[in-house]
Every structure is written in C-alpha cells, then in structure tokens.
Structure 1
Amino acid sequence: MKKLTGFLMILLALISISANETAETGKPLVYRLPIFSNINSTVWVHTQKAFKEAREMNADMILIHMNTYGGEVVFADSIRTKILNSDIPVHVFIDNNAASAGALISIAAQNIYMRPGANIGAATVVNQTGEEMPDKFQSYMRSTIRATAESHGKDTIIVANDTIVKWRRDPRIAEAMVDERVEIPGIIEAGQVLTFTALEAVEHGFCDGIARSIDDVLEQLGVPDAEVVSFRPTFYDNLKGFLTSPILRGMLILVILGGIYFELQSPGIGFPIIAAIVAAVLYFAPLYLDGLAANWEIMLFVIGVVLIALEIFVIPGFGVAGISGTILVVTGLVLSLLDNVVFDFSGVKTKELMEALLTVFGGMFGGILLVIYLSNRWTASPTAPLSRITLQTSQDINQGYVSVDTHYKSLVGKTGVSSTVLRPSGKVTIEGEVYDARALEGFVDRDENIKVISFTSGQLNVRKI
C-alpha cells in the first residue's frame, strides 16, 4: 500500500511539473484522447480518466483522435454526455471512420475534422449479429442524436442583405443517420441510412475542416505551436474497463450466486466457494476503488449470504431469514453499481438504476439459462468436454443395483423387541441391532415382543406377538 501511495505521489508530481513547464513556455496545451477500438466499457474508463487528467493539467482543449466502427450505445451516450458537459472545449479528428456510436460522439464535439476519405454516419442501433434492433431502441437513438445536434445551436448568416438562421448541425440530418425512413431532398432518399464522406460532411455542416494529421487540425484550430499530451492507459485502466463490462458483470454474478448455491449443497471449503469469492472480489474491487461500492453496500451482500446459510443449515424451510438474505444479496449487488451517497439517491438517474437492475437480474436469469445450455453441450455425451467428470452410466436393477439395503430382506420372519413405542413407527431391536420399523396393526408399546412380517422402502413392517 505504501509503495502504491508513493508511486501515485510521484505521478502527480510529474503531472504538476509538466503543467508548470507548459505554463512557463506559454504554449497552449492540447490533451489528445485516442479512440481506435469499438466503443465499450474500456473506452468509457479511458475517457473518464482522460478528462480528469486534462482538468488537472489545465489543458486548453481536448482532441479526440477517432477511428471506430461503433460499439455499445450505453457507453457512447455516456461519452457524449461527458463531452457536452465538459468545461474544456472538445474537438474530434476522424482519422478514417466514425460509424454508429462513433458518429454520436463526434456530433457532440465542438468541432469535427476529417481525414480525406473518412466517413461519418450509419448510427442505426443493431444487435451483436448486426441485425437492426426494434423501433423502441431506434426511437431512443433518434432522440439522442437529434438532441446532440441541437445542442450546438443555430448560426446567423447574412447573404445579400438577407438574414438566414440555420442549425449549425441540422438535427434532421443527424436523425437520418439513424432512421432509414427519414428523407431529405438533395441529401438522402427514404430507405437508406445516411453516411457522409468528408466532403459531404463539410458541405452539410457536419465537418469543420479536412485534415491529414493532428498538425493540420491544430493549424485549423489556431494553435499550431501547441504542446500535445496524449492519454496513455495503464494496465489497471484496461483491467478495470474489462471488469466493468456489463456482460462480464453478469457472468460474475452468475459465478457468485452459483458458487454459493453449490457450496451450500455440499458444505466445506471446495471449488464452488473459492470461485464465488474470486468472482465477488472481481465484481466489487473496481467498483470499490472507484468509490461506487461503499463498505456498507458490500456488508449488505455478506450479511445476505450469511442469512441464506442460516436458513439452510440452522432454520429448516425457507422463511424470513432466507427471503431477507436474498433481498440483501441482490440489493448489495445493485447498489454497488449506483453512485449514491448512503441512501441518498437524488443524484442517481432512473436510467442508471434500470441499467443496474438489468445487469444484476440479467446476470442471474441469463446465467441460469447459460448453465443449462452448457451442461447439455459439455456433459451430455461421452465425447463432451466435461464428460470425464460426470456420470455417464446408469445403475440398472438387472445388473444388481438396488436402492435399499438387501440385508432387510433376510430379517423377514425373525423376532425381536420394540425399543420405542411404535405409533405406528419407531425403533425395534433384532439380534442386537436397532432398525426403523412400523407396526402393521395399532400401536406397540416399548419392550414388546415383535415379529418382522415384511419390509418396504428400508423400513421393517412388524406385528406384536
């Protein structure tokens, strides 16, 4: 811990020295954020850290260097909101592609610059297989991209003594990048999703200039001699991005709950509980370090697990303890995903709450279906991957396998003494051994002589002599 603290202090000192040197030289500071992959949880983690570092260094502007085919809408929307709310001007340089989620992020920037041959558009919401999602998803995306274009306001242009007021970025054009039903005369016909080339984007207000390099962009921004500092992610940044992926969170929830369940079925320290502990650490650690998961939220989860264990091993049945434990476990998992202060949820948006609930319950129910599917695929046949650790044979009666002890059959006809009162079930002693027995007729008092008449389901049927 001391080494980590020392490293952080050195890092902050280096950042401070760099900022002071920049201030002394008088050169503008441009903070560059490269986005060269699909938009996902890792890119969102990088964006948050990059904006924080840019503020700490008093950067004059942030330049997003982009080349992406799109990604997850939820993270694109978060980055878009980050840009719109930034007190530092944000510009984007599209170095080839800004498709789908990339287009939404680009439209949020103050200025857009594109390399010759670059493209922007095609923001229709699709699933993992590339198929278009239902209209309710498209409706949300249409509204979001329109609002993003509208946020840049309108320009007033005077032509031949006539005043023309027009959108700086036309919301209708932005919507056409999502909805193929939108028709704009002279730009796009119905039935096609809009994608602009660099020159087309300049013509219609979705590009502020053509640039071949970062230096060209700085020249057009009026800061040709600016110092450029690029964001460099650490190993932890990439690990945190991976661990905060909604899909992985769902899988971790599956391992946590599944591990607890299987461990409670076979008490003792085994693989299930170890897997559950590791999954819980991976689930809560990045959230705790980020300040999302507080100590009390993690304790809710732990207390919930303890209550479920008490319900199974101490209190027979499924009552208050079991229900309370289940509620606490789910509550702990959900609250750890929300940026709340104790029970103050005033800063939590409904959208964030729904995402947290969807992640937790989706992980639970989706994981159950996945386990059923994989169990059939991986264990059903002798050649399946996990066939060696599963039972592949049946124990048939014709092979000598029976479900009860055959020793009981040899006791038929023998006599003994009732060890307890048989009302009608109890204990009897035969040849010095105690057995479960049931009286065929009425009750039998203790220390009465009995005779074994028959046996069923591992229990002797006796009659008083």
Structure 2
Amino acid sequence: MRQIKLFIFSVLLTLVGISYGQDTTLVYVYDINQEIGPEAWRNTQNAFNEAQKHDADLVLIHMNTYGGLVTAADSIRTKILNSEIPVWVFIDNNAASAGALISIACDSVYMRPGANMGAATVVNQSGKAMPDKYQSFMRSMMRSTAESHGKDTTITPEGDTIIKWHRDPAIAEAMVDPRLKVEGVIDSGKVISFTTSEAIKYGFAEAEAENIAEALDKGNINKYTIVKQRLSTTDKIINFLINPFVHGILIMIIIGGLYFELQSPGIGFPLAAAALATLLYFAPLYLEGIAENWEVLIFIGGIVLIMVEIFVIPGFGVAGISGIAMVITGLTLAMIDNLEFQMNPNYVDTVMQSLAVVVISSFLAFVGGIWGSKKLFDNSFLPGLALNNVQETEDGFSNVESSFRNMTGRKGVAATMLRPSGTVEIDEEHYDARAETGFIEVGTRIVVVRTSSSQLYVEPEDMED
C-alpha cells in the first residue's frame, strides 16, 4: 500500500510538472533534533496539521536524535504510517533508538555521509537494557513498521515462493535484540546499527545526500517550494513547560510553597508561588489533551482533604493520608497521555517514571523547605527580611514581659493543634506557643521548656524526663 502511494505520488508530480512547467511540489519541513518526548510529539502533530492546511505534497523530517521515550516515538510513527501525505526523512547525523523507529516508518530515508541509524534496544535512564517484555514490545513495533512498506512475491519455475521485503522485518528486529541473527548481516551478540552505506545496501535508505536539497533531487523532485515549521512564542513556552525536568521543578515549587505556607501565619507569597506553579503544571498538559478533567479533580480533591485534615480534623489520619495519595496520583497521571494506556501494554514503566519524578521532587521540596525555613532569615544576601541588630537587655531594651521569663517549667494543655505553632492554655489563660519538636495534638498535657521573644516553646508533659 505504501509503495502504491509513492508510485501515484511520483506520477502526479511528473504530470503536473509537465503541464505547468513551474514549481509544483510543496515540501513541508520540520525538525526532530531533540530527545524524542512530549515536545517532539507535539511538534509532529502541529507539523502534520500545518502541512494539511498548506495542502503540502510531501512532509520531510530533518532528523538528528539519539532517541528518547518509546511512547512518544510510537505516537509519531503511528502518525506517519496513517498520513495521507508521503513522509520522507533526512538523517543529518543520528537516528538512534526511538529515532530509528520513526525513520523506518517514513516512505523514503536519505542519510548524510557519516550518519547512523539503529541501536533501538529499550534502556532505562541509566542506560541498562530493560527486561525482555519491553524489548518484545519494541521488536514487534519495529517488525510491523518494516512490514508496512510491503513486499514483492515471486514464484520460481520450480514453484517456490520467494518473498523480498522492501524493508526486512528481521533486520528491524535485530536493531533491538542482540540475540537475533540475520544471515549475511549480523551473527548476533550486537544490535544492528547501520552506517549510511549499509542502510542503503540493506534497503533501509534510498540514497546518500549532503543536505535536504540533494535528498529531494535524488528523490526526483527538482522543482519545489519548501515551507518550514516556525514555532510561535506560545509553542516554545508550552514545549518548555511540558519538559519532564521542568515538571520536576514545578512540583518542587508546589509542594515547597504549601509547606512554607503551613509554617507561617496568614496567606502570602509561598501560597501564591504554589498556585502559580500548579497553573503552569496543569494548564499546558490540559490544553494539549494529555491531562484529563478527572486527573485535575483528583489533585484538587487531595489538596482539599489535606486542608480539612490540618484545619478541621485534629490529628493526622485517613483524610490527610488520602489527600497526599490523591495529590501524588493527580500529578503523576497528568503527565501521561491517556493514549498510552491504549497503545502500550507495558505502560507500567511510564507510570513508574512519572511517579518517580513526583516522589523525588516532593522529597526534595520537603528537604529544601526544612533547610530553607532555618536559613532564609539568616541569609546575609537578604538583609531586609529580618532585623539583624541585637537589642541587649543590659542596654535597656526589653520586649519580653517579665511574666514570660518565669514561665519555663509551667504546665498546661494544648488548646489547639500545634503544627508546630498554635495555642496553649496555662492556668486558664491562653498563650501563643510553638512545639519544640514535631506536632502536638489538641488536649495534650504540655510543659513550657523555654521562652524566646514572647514565644513559648512547649513539649508534651510525658517527654519532660
């Protein structure tokens, strides 16, 4: 089917060129020169939409990538295979791993001298090969993609059937699995990675070309107009925000902002920063159709449960734990395209990667929050945040009532939950207090262990020893 489409495409180009004698081929060019991921998938969708609007005759991918996410590559190769417009690729330097899958999906492949294509083994972030179930999924994708380009069947005089694939599925599989042997190509022990000349020899590339112009010339397209994808400022911002690394930073701001806000009275900058980071996290994912309504609602529901646990229900129990679980779930699932669950039977790996981003970022936010709350006001680079001058008592300064200085050792009860600040009742009078360590439940018997600047520091009475 793919070969028939290319034949019809070539005939139409020839007829139109003869009739009009002018530029007749509109070539839409876009780049894949980064890691294969959400950004590359988004650019691909935009490119094909724009190519259709321009009524392009050909889409040409200018590629240079070391690979990336299998899920994103699968989405891109599916887009190419289903395209009514022929798709070519010019490999400028590398089409490794996920890049090889995308290249094999294209109708024609042209490679620059010194370029490489192959090495499609699925690996984790440390570069270690994943278990065989992941390799099996990648092998099947490589095989089916190669098979989509069709085959020639010949019957010999002796009655034997000879099948010649236009792109050999066995070779495509051997780009993934080093255990596979392909007679005359590789004996096993290493995955296949083709140079330009090897790719041409074994039918995985049409020709060698120095640049896009030469690739079009060798593809018998001599008169053409090129329209190149131009990313708008909005596209660049969205591509930046959907980067997994940026997701990690935004999650740290969300969690860190909430932590700082709970440590300080009133509503201020930390909560505003957390709210802005939440908007920047979810908005691009929602607009791109990656995050669904229910995933956003899970996150919001988790925040509500945490607030209820802190300000309404004493202690920390089911509501708080459920809220934390919902927040983590919402942040994790929002990063994953829901098509992933339909297209990839091994989606668990993608879920675990997203979960790792959320958990690690949250942990770093807590650690940073604890450290930052102690260091922020002592920072010499931010002298305006706190009064650094010491007003000594012997110099006549005193902002602590004498009664406070005599309260160490006094006992009472926690009138509110101390998280770590709250209110205690001592001899039927209420005082602002702060837990010396951890949180103190409402109603707990407490003892004042020290005072500082009109602030009582307390701990549970049973810790007095």
Which interval holds the TM-score relative to the shorter structure?
Answer: 0.5 to 0.7
User: Quick check: 1:114 aligned with 2:111?
Assistant: yes
Higher alpha-carbon deviation: 316-325 or 94-103: 316-325
Aligned to 2:211: 213
State the one-letter code of the partner of 2:114. G
Cα distance in 1 between the residues matched to 2:83 and 2:430: 81
SS at match of 1:88: coil
Distance change in 2, residues 1:111/1:410 (3 Å): closer
Deviations 1:56-96 (A, max 9, x none): 11111211111223233332222222212222211111123
Aligned to 1:176: 174
Aligned to 1:43: 40
Aligned to 1:361: 355
- Please tell me whether the aligned partners of residues 250 and 359 of structure 1 are also in contact (alpha carbons under 8 angstroms): no
Cα distance in 2 between the residues matched to 1:93 and 1:284: 35
Cα distance in 1 between the residues matched to 2:340 and 2:34: 34
Aligned to 1:263: 261
Cα distance in 2 between the residues matched to 1:346 and 1:70: 18
- Please tell me whether the aligned partners of residues 254 and 363 of structure 1 are also in contact (alpha carbons under 8 angstroms): no
Q: Which runs of 5+ in 2 are unaligned?
A: 1-19, 383-402, 411-424, 432-446, 450-457
Distance change in 2, residues 1:294/1:61 (3 Å): same
Give 1:258 deviation, angstroms.
Answer: 3.8
Distance change in 2, residues 1:352/1:234 (3 Å): farther
Aligned to 1:240: 238
- Please tell me whether the aligned partners of residues 260 and 369 of structure 2 are also in contact (alpha carbons under 8 angstroms): no
1:56-71 residue pairs with structure 2 within 5 A?
Answer: 56-71=53-68
Cα distance in 2 between the residues matched to 1:130 and 1:335: 25
Cα distance in 2 between the residues matched to 1:33 and 1:279: 31
Distance change in 2, residues 1:408/1:322 (3 Å): closer
Q: Which runs of 5+ in 1 are unaligned?
A: 1-22, 390-403, 412-425, 436-454
- Please tell me whether the aligned partners of residues 44 and 241 of structure 1 are also in contact (alpha carbons under 8 angstroms): no
Give 1:367 deviation, angstroms.
Answer: 2.2
Aligned to 2:97: 100
SS at match of 1:311: helix
Cα distance in 2 between the residues matched to 1:410 and 1:372: 32
Give 1:173 deviation, angstroms.
Answer: 0.7
Higher alpha-carbon deviation: 346-355 or 321-330: 346-355
State the one-letter code of the partner of 1:367. S
Deviations 1:225-251 (A, max 9, x none): 121111122232222122112343244
- Please tell me whether the aligned partners of residues 282 and 291 of structure 2 are also in contact (alpha carbons under 8 angstroms): yes
State the one-letter code of the partner of 2:100. A
Among residues 251, 254, 274, which one is paired with 1:253 in the alignment?
A: 251
State the one-letter code of the partner of 2:144. A
Distance change in 2, residues 1:352/1:109 (3 Å): same
SS at match of 2:177: coil
Higher alpha-carbon deviation: 50-59 or 297-306: 297-306
RMSD of aligned Cα (Å): 4.3
1:25-424 residue pairs with structure 2 within 5 A?
Answer: 27-156=24-153, 164-293=162-291, 298=296, 301-318=299-316, 322=320, 325-326=323-324, 329-330=327-328, 332-333=330-331, 336-337=334-335, 357-358=351-352, 361-371=355-365, 407=406
Q: Kindly tell me the number of residue pairs found equivalent between the two proteins.
A: 382
SS at match of 2:117: strand
State the one-letter code of the partner of 1:362. A
Identity percentage of aligned residues: 51
Distance change in 2, residues 1:115/1:157 (3 Å): farther
Give 1:204 deviation, angstroms.
Answer: 1.1
